[in-house]
Amino acid sequence: MGNTTTPRLAGASRAGRWALLVLQVGLIGAVLAASATPVLGQGDERAVKKIIDLNKKALAAIDAKKFDVAREGLLEAATTAKQANLLMHKMLARTYVHLGAVYFLGYNDRKSALKYFGLAKNIRADIQLTPSLATPNLTAVFEKASAEGGSTDAAADTATPSRRTPPRAPAPAPPTEPTPAPPAPPVVAQGEPELPIVLPADLYCPAVEEAPEGQEIVIRCAVKPSLKAERVLFYFRASGAPSYAVAAMQNSPKGWLEARIPTQAATGESLQYYCEARDSADNVVATNGQEDVPNPIILKPAVPGATPSPVATGGRGEGEDALAGIKHEQENEILEKGIHRRRQYAFWLGVGWGTGWGYHRAALLEYRRDAPAVSAGVHHAGWFNFYPEVGFLVTEHIGVAVQGRLQYIPIEGSGETHTGGPATGAYAVLGRGLYYLDLGAGNAQLQFSAGLGGGEYRFAYPPTNANPDCVAHPNPNKCIVDSKGNYVRDSNGNPIPKPTQLTDTIRSGTFLYSAGVGFIYHISSHFAANVELRFLGAGPHLGFLGEGFISLQGSLGGRPPPRPGDAPPMEMERLPEEDEAEE
């Protein structure tokens, strides 16, 4: 009988090695999975892009010393990050850095700056100041902030000199003419907002970024019905406190789930909170914030003399509705559907029809040049004038265009003895500058125009009765005339033949100039109707013409409409996080 022990041991050894190898591979995969950067979904990418845009606009506002504008934009960016559950994202950290800069530079509020810098470092310990904000004073405050959510307080600032590193140079002197710090906007308590029809998250809680100290704070949440949550628990604590207080959220009259942080708990420098939705088995099915990454509320000193009132999500001011941005965009879309004026950089094509009357000086007729010169007077300048036009809108209110003027003159009369025929039309081209003045916020505008060009226009000289039998009569006064002065019967009562002359013309040109005023109504974003009255002068063949025309215009292209509150286009500073993403 052979010895089978050795093969068995060898097999066991090989199995052990394979098991160890599998375990090692699994551990490596777990470490890699834990350390890998999470892949953002499409919605998260949109949220990150919005946060970046809001931060860039805030930097531009800080540079322009519009600190209130910067602060509101940054609070919206922080709310966007929380709605997208980007609680540990680098752009939320960058937003807190910029909020700290706003409070220090704009409001001279060092304590709030320390808090926001601390919140930023708590998310990303190695974060640095944005280069354009790195002044010596602000850098000193930023370096002092701890990574514990801004727990550094005034006591630490007044510590004994032995705990500080002596500065190498005197601290920079404060500005000789500091900008007075504007007071923080007062909190306005609002009624309970309507519940959104579509919730942006499974557990949606409009964020309260800041609140006055010593006032009750109302937190509202809503849960998607598909989540099948049985209850929502609300956890809150003062920053640095060892434990959270917990409460079940209650239904409000309009369908929200509400929890209230009592006045006595809203003390100190900041609060932290998070919410959990639980199912019937008490499993957590959705969260807004987490125990280790809670939502912060910065507590601001109450305004002296102000009447305490609850701060609630969904109002304005410090407790601004997190849906305000969404509602704002929806309002803009509705407004834009109703207002569709032609946009900057749009081209338009138009065609119009019009007529005019004018004054000409004494001149020879163009066809019957052997006739005596006609005296100066007022004549018609054509019933069938056409005005093709192509234009470009340089700004929202200034445009340039090239317009043609095609005049058609119908010929009347018969039996003309002259050879050839009278002119039947005239042609001109004008370069025009236009200015549009809005009539309120609707689709109607006044239009002012001025133009220069070349060509000609003609005054129509109607046919006249030149029957020689009556003209040569020894007493023409005995000839019977009609109301227009044309002979119709001779002195014997015999009918006189119809006029034997044709319509003739008097020419004005070659240099043309114009000025006009009109009204344009934008039927849609691509079509408009225009009515214009204008003066058209000519030389050296002198003439002055007053004409009116209507036209229809179709437009193409144009810049998309700006949203109210949007910053103007500018070269914005790149944020450090954008450079990291490219690397």
On whether both 391 and 523 belong to a single domain, the answer is yes
Q: Determine the straight-line distance between the first and last CA of the chain, rounded to whole angstroms.
A: 68
Judge contact between 134 and 117, C-beta under 8 A.
Answer: no
On whether both 396 and 536 belong to a single domain, the answer is yes
**What is the three-class DSSP state of 555?**
strand
Give the pLDDT of residue 165.
37
On whether both 286 and 252 belong to a single domain, the answer is yes
Longest dimension (CA), the chain: 165
CATH number of the domain encompassing residue 363:
2.40.160.20
On whether both 395 and 256 belong to a single domain, the answer is no
**What is the three-class DSSP state of 449?**
strand
Residue 44 is encoded by which pair of tokens? 């998260």
**What is the three-class DSSP state of 367?**
coil
On whether both 220 and 279 belong to a single domain, the answer is yes
On whether both 361 and 256 belong to a single domain, the answer is no
On whether both 307 and 451 belong to a single domain, the answer is no
* Residue 163 resides in a domain: no
* Residue 566 resides in a domain: no
On whether both 376 and 440 belong to a single domain, the answer is yes
Cα 177 to Cα 104, 180, 181, distances in angstroms: 16, 9, 12
* Residue 564 resides in a domain: no
Q: Residues with Cβ < 8 Å from 480, sequence gap 6 or more? A: 487, 488, 489, 490, 491, 493
Round to whole Å and give the CA distance between 230 and 513: 79
Domain encompassing residue 439: 344-463+502-557
CA-nearest of 548, 516, 543, 514 to 456 is 543
* Residue 194 resides in a domain: no
115, 130, 154: which is the final residue of a domain? 154
Judge contact between 494 and 410, C-beta under 8 A.
Answer: no
Judge contact between 83 and 200, C-beta under 8 A.
Answer: yes
* Residue 249 resides in a domain: yes
Stated as kind and residue range, the H or E segment containing 351 is: strand 346-360
β-strands 217-223, 245-248: how paired? Answer: unpaired
* Residue 582 resides in a domain: no
Q: Where are the alpha helices (DSSP H) in 84-218?
A: 90-107, 110-123, 136-144, 154-157
Judge contact between 547 and 385, C-beta under 8 A.
Answer: yes
For 317-337, letters b (16+ CB in 10 Å) and e give bbbbbbbbbeeeeeebeeeee
For the entire predicted model, the pTM comes to 0.43
Please give the tally of structural domains in the chain: 4
On whether both 112 and 100 belong to a single domain, the answer is yes
* Residue 164 resides in a domain: no
CA within 13 Å, CB half, 117: 25
Judge contact between 222 and 195, C-beta under 8 A.
Answer: yes
**Backbone phi, psi, residue 35, to 5°:** -90, -10
| DSSP 8-state secondary structure symbol assigned to residue 363 | B
Judge contact between 567 and 57, C-beta under 8 A.
Answer: yes
119, 139, 154: which is the final residue of a domain? 154
On whether both 361 and 442 belong to a single domain, the answer is yes
On whether both 439 and 551 belong to a single domain, the answer is yes
* Residue 175 resides in a domain: no
Judge contact between 409 and 458, C-beta under 8 A.
Answer: yes
Give the pLDDT of residue 26.
52
Stated as kind and residue range, the H or E segment containing 334 is: helix 324-338
CA-nearest of 231, 242, 224, 312 to 275 is 231
CATH number of the domain encompassing residue 56:
1.25.40.10
Give the pLDDT of residue 430.
97
Round to whole Å and give the CA distance between 122 and 341: 49
- Count of CB atoms within 10 A of residue 561's CB? 17
- Count of CB atoms within 10 A of residue 455's CB? 18
Give the pLDDT of residue 189.
36
Give the pLDDT of residue 88.
87
On whether both 140 and 274 belong to a single domain, the answer is no
User: Which pLDDT tens digits describe the chain residue by residue (583 residues)?
Assistant: 445 444 444 444 555 565 555 455 454 444 444 444 444 556 678 888 899 999 999 998 898 888 988 988 898 888 888 878 888 889 999 999 999 999 899 888 888 888 889 889 988 888 999 888 888 888 888 988 875 444 443 333 323 333 333 334 444 444 444 444 444 433 333 467 888 877 888 888 887 888 888 888 899 999 988 888 888 999 998 866 778 888 888 888 888 999 988 888 888 888 889 999 998 888 899 998 888 778 888 888 776 655 555 555 544 333 334 344 444 555 555 555 567 788 889 999 999 999 999 999 898 899 988 888 888 989 889 888 999 999 999 998 999 999 999 999 988 877 677 888 899 999 999 999 999 998 877 889 999 999 999 999 999 988 765 555 555 444 555 565 555 555 566 666 666 655 557 889 999 999 999 999 999 999 988 999 999 999 999 999 999 999 999 999 999 988 765 544 444 444 566 777 776 666 5
- Count of CB atoms within 10 A of residue 255's CB? 12
Residue 124 is encoded by which pair of tokens? 């990303």
257, 290, 322: which is the final residue of a domain? 322
